[in-house]
Amino acid sequence: MSRRVVITGVGLVCACGIGTEEVWKNLLAGQGGIGPITQFDASAFDCRFAGEVRHFDPLNWVEKKELKKVARFIQLGLAAADFAVKMAGLEITPEIADEAGVYVASGIGGFDIIEREHTKLLQGGPGKISPFFIPAAIVNLASGQISIRYGARGPNSATATACSASAHAVGDSFKIIERGAAEVMICGGAEAAVTPMGIGGFAAMRALSTRNDEPARASRPFDAERDGFVVGEGAGVLILESLEHAQRRGANILAEAAGYGMSGDAYHITQPSENGDGAYRVMMAALKDAKVLPDVVGYVNAHGTSTPLGDAIETVALHRVFGERAKKVPVSSTKSMTGHLLGGAGGLEAGISILALRDQMLPPTINYEHPDPACDLDYVPNVARPAEVEYALSNSFGFGGTNAALLFKRWDSR
């Protein structure tokens, strides 16, 4: 018999704030964090803005002598993990260390370190490369560093499935606990791709918004004037536990993990399938896993990146899932405020969905000003809204046609 899995901690760091409650407060107020890039000179770039985590001091989470060993995505992941662990009141003692795991994903990893060390190679030769280069940059070292920090000796993994990566990490962690392979999982994702190669690469694909004259209004999911996504950075980390473990230690339970779906488009390296088939199937897979019908879903945190094609296709998929009820289901894209965290998006948005269930409040899609006939759902435009929500669905879709959907349930102790 599979075990029930609950969420006891949420740690969020993104352009909207540093710390879970600060982020949540700003999201509900519709206060986005997108602005001009400050981490490098972007004056020659087609896109000159991003969702940066401003005023982030890594020394609050990493000792100065250790900074050279951790890329920015790891720093952000350590901060989010700290917020999540503290919210959960979790202490990983030697008695439970082997039953506590870490699964923190990233789509890109340490671009900042890769670019820095490549420059040193070109300018000074191979002797100038730091011995810490590889462990500072590779994708699984957010998980590695977090596990070392908390002494978590259970399952330790990381996915790199593009923009679905941290949703896969959360879903896989759910299943690890459900089948009895761990009692606790620290899971989610982190990303820090606001670098010259990160911004330049996505701009070369013509994937980014170029609304440089008004960056705060650039991320506008489902709006008729959307022109591309905005790169964001940050981290979203959750504490998942078996229900028995959480209750045994008297933890405050935020929500329950109900369902997890995965699918592949098998269609194109960057574009979603035209009829939304992959997105439709992954949502239905999450519902099937939870053994519930679409009718129970009261909120969807959409992938909603603000690209012309992607938003319209996700809308098609949502129509297929909900049928005649589709226009009555609130759907919002918090990427309108945070930007797109790429591999970190799923963890961040899973955390936001859990907070929506906790407080029965729906965050808005800001910058929604011009309705698009191809996007005709209730996108919770511009203003947060109270709502009675039993189940919340969080969508993540990535390049290569890799999809994930997470279904969370409002906590009920019965």
Catalytic residue list: 163, 303, 340
pLDDT 10s digits, 55-79: 999 999 999 999 999 999 999 999 9
Q: Note down the domain range covering 149.
A: 5-248
Q: Confidence class of residue 274 from pLDDT cuts 50, 70 and 90?
A: confident
Q: Which two tokens stand for residue 374?
A: 């191809």
Q: Confidence class of residue 301 from pLDDT cuts 50, 70 and 90?
A: very high
Same domain as 81, residue 218: yes
State the burial class of residue 46 (Cβ atoms within 10 Å of its Cβ: 0-12, 13-18, 19+).
middle
Same domain as 33, residue 170: yes
Nearest Cα to Cα of residue 13 among 206, 232, 302, 301: 232
Same domain as 272, residue 244: no
- What does the DSSP assignment read for 142-190? HHHHHHHHHT--S-EE----GGGHHHHHHHHHHHHHHTTS-SEEEEEEE
- In a domain, residue 280? The reply is yes
CATH of the domain at 279: 3.40.47.10
Answer with the one of 248, 279, 311 that is the final residue of a domain: 248
Same domain as 157, residue 9: yes
Domain count for the chain: 2
- In a domain, residue 254? The reply is no
Answer with the one of 248, 278, 297 that is the final residue of a domain: 248
pLDDT 10s digits, 171-228: 999 999 999 999 999 999 999 999 999 999 999 999 999 999 999 999 999 999 999 9
Answer with the one of 248, 280, 295 that is the final residue of a domain: 248
Q: Is 285 helix (H, G, I), strand (E, B) or coil?
A: helix
Measured CA to CA, the distance from residue 55 to residue 164 in angstroms comes to 27
Measured CA to CA, the distance from residue 363 to residue 171 in angstroms comes to 22
How does strand 100-105 pair with strand 35-36? unpaired
Same domain as 267, residue 229: no
Is 413's pLDDT higher than 70? no
Q: How many CB atoms lie within 10 A of CB 248?
A: 11
